[in-house]
Every structure is written in structure tokens, then in C-alpha cells.
Amino acid sequence: MATQRQTEVGGAKLSLEGGAVVSEPVYRQLARVCRDRLVGGDARHGDRFPSERDLARDFGVSRATANKVLSNLVAEGLLEHRPGIGMFVAENKTLHASLREMESFTGHARALGLEPETRVLEFKRLARGDVPEEVAGGMGLGAGEGVIFVERLRLADGVPVILEFRWIRSSMVPGLRRSDLAGSCYALLEGRYGVRLAGERQKIGARGMDLGEARKLGARPGAAALVVEGTGFSEDDTVVWYQVLLYRGDRYHLENSVRLNHRQNRTEIKLTRD
């Protein structure tokens, strides 16, 4: 029979099932339990969080395991360590992506006081025949055209928040290298290549993440993701890219603001821990 180990944070109990045979490492189980409580609204900014010693004692894990869990949560921006005092729930910061105007993730994150980071996970050149038909059709690729495919992970203050898949028309970015994509794609296209961007056409949906996507975003397999998919085009209406963006569903929600006669309407995907 499984036993239950638990402790409290912000007046709410954290519990971890023990004794059962599971394939998930203990530190991941404990990190998930703590993370769910921190992003679920039960913990408030400034609440004291159990220390390494407390977690190890209350959950029957080693101090090394407890330390690994806390270090990961600090890196994700969920906890803050105050030297000589202890662990506390970190201040909630909000990041949004507007769906009504083109907006650089890098620039917007910095404007909010968050540190953006982009990790290029994959970079390769593809001929027309190797491009998914939906992408090739959406871009209007001709028989002799190719693309550069890039997969990127976007982070804010060390927290993975967006998984990006992007196909860029090769003819518009000669000499593009993997290292060039560690920042704003908009700035790169306009600054180096002189592409005058005009807008995006996109659709929004939701689906469960597969195992690989969930691991990259630090979420559970099957967890919900907001999906923004579509094209970006230049002033002469040439499709520059096709993209699929996965926003972590436990970090983002969709907000829509509508005013009479379409004045100052705004739709945003917001990152929040409320």
C-alpha cells in the first residue's frame, strides 16, 4: 500500500505518494508536486517555502534530492533564495504576447524586466520535398525553393515558456547560421536582411503536449498547450515564414478585450502564475 508524505506551504498541504512502483525519478515527482502548488494559486508572493532540510525530512528524501528540487524551482523563477533567511515564493511576473500586432518576445520580455533566453534546439536546411505539405502550401513554396527549419525554446528568467517551430524561406536569408537565431527573429530579418515585415496570419487552438514537447517545456505529457500557427509576410505580401508556437498551458491563458465599434480591441496570450 502506498504511503503519503506531505508538508505545507502557504497554509496548503503538499503531498507525495510513496511506496508505489513508479518510473519517474523521485526528484521529478517532488518538483512536480511543488510546482503544481506554486503555479496553482495556493502560494502567494512572499510565503515562506520549506527548506532543503524540511523537504528531506517531510518527504523522506535525501538532502541532495531536496536541494536539486529547490535549485530547479529557483531557476524556473518560482522560488527566490534569500541568503541567511530561507526560501520564499517568488514575485509573480506577467508576460504577454499580442495577437493583434507583431511583437518581439526578446524585446517585450526585457521591457517587463524579465531576462529572455533563446535556445536553438535544431537547425537544418530542407528542400521543398522535405517540407510538410501544410507548411509548403501555406508558404506557397515553388518546386525549386527550400526553407531553413529551426526549433527554438524561449525562456523568461530561466523558465521555459514557448516551444517554437519555424520554417523560413531560404532565399530571403542567405548565409543564415544557427548562431544567428539566438535572439529576435524579427530584428534579424529586418536588420540584417532588410525584410520589411508587414504582419502575420495565424490561428489559435489547444492540444495536449506529446512526451518530447512536454520535456522541453518542463511540463507533464498530455498537459495543455496553446497553439498559435500561421505565416509571417512582408510588405510585398511574400510569405517569409511558417511557424507553430506552443505556449505552456499552465503558464498562459488567452485574454480578449473588445470595445464598442472595434476601438482599442486587443487579444493577448498572457503568462501568469495567478
Place 191 in a pLDDT band, splitting at 50, 70 and 90.
confident
d(CA 156, CA 225): 17
Record: fold of 3-89: Arc Repressor Mutant, subunit A (1.10.10)
Cβ neighbour number for residue 213 with a 10 Å cutoff: 18
| Ranges assigned E (strand) in the chain | 3-9, 12-18, 48-49, 79-82, 86-89, 95-98, 116-127, 146-156, 159-169, 197-208, 224-234, 239-248, 252-257, 266-271
The predicted pLDDT at position 273 comes to 42
Q: Which of 79-83, 104-108, 251-255 has the highest mean pLDDT?
A: 79-83
d(CA 107, CA 104): 5
Q: Which residue in 222, 230, 225 sits closest to 252, CA to CA?
A: 225
- List b or e across 107-143, with b for residues whose CB sees 16 or more CB atoms inside 10 angstroms: ebbeeeebebbbebeebeebeeeebeeebbebbebee
Extents of the domains making up the chain: 3-89, 95-271
179 Cβ contact list (under 8 Å, min separation 6): 120
The predicted pLDDT at position 190 comes to 86
Q: Which residue in 165, 116, 118, 160 sits closest to 251, CA to CA?
A: 160
pLDDT at 108 over 70: no
d(CA 79, CA 58): 19
The predicted pLDDT at position 142 comes to 93
Q: Three cell numbers at 38? A: 506554486
**What sign results for the dihedral spanned by CA atoms 211, 118, 181, 139?**
positive
Q: What is the mean pLDDT of the chain?
A: 80
User: pLDDT tens, 112-159?
Assistant: 677 889 999 999 999 999 999 999 999 999 999 999 999 999 988 888
CATH code given to domain 95-271: 3.40.1410.10
- Predicted TM-score (pTM) of the model is 0.62
d(CA 75, CA 160): 10
Q: Three cell numbers at 139? A: 508558404
User: pLDDT tens, 27-61?
Assistant: 888 887 887 777 655 677 788 999 999 999 988 89
Tell me if domain 3-89 and domain 95-271 are identical in fold: no
Q: Answer for the pair 152, 181: CB distance below 8 angstroms, yes or no.
A: yes
User: pLDDT tens, 206-263?
Assistant: 999 999 999 999 888 999 999 999 999 998 999 999 999 998 887 766 665 555 555 5
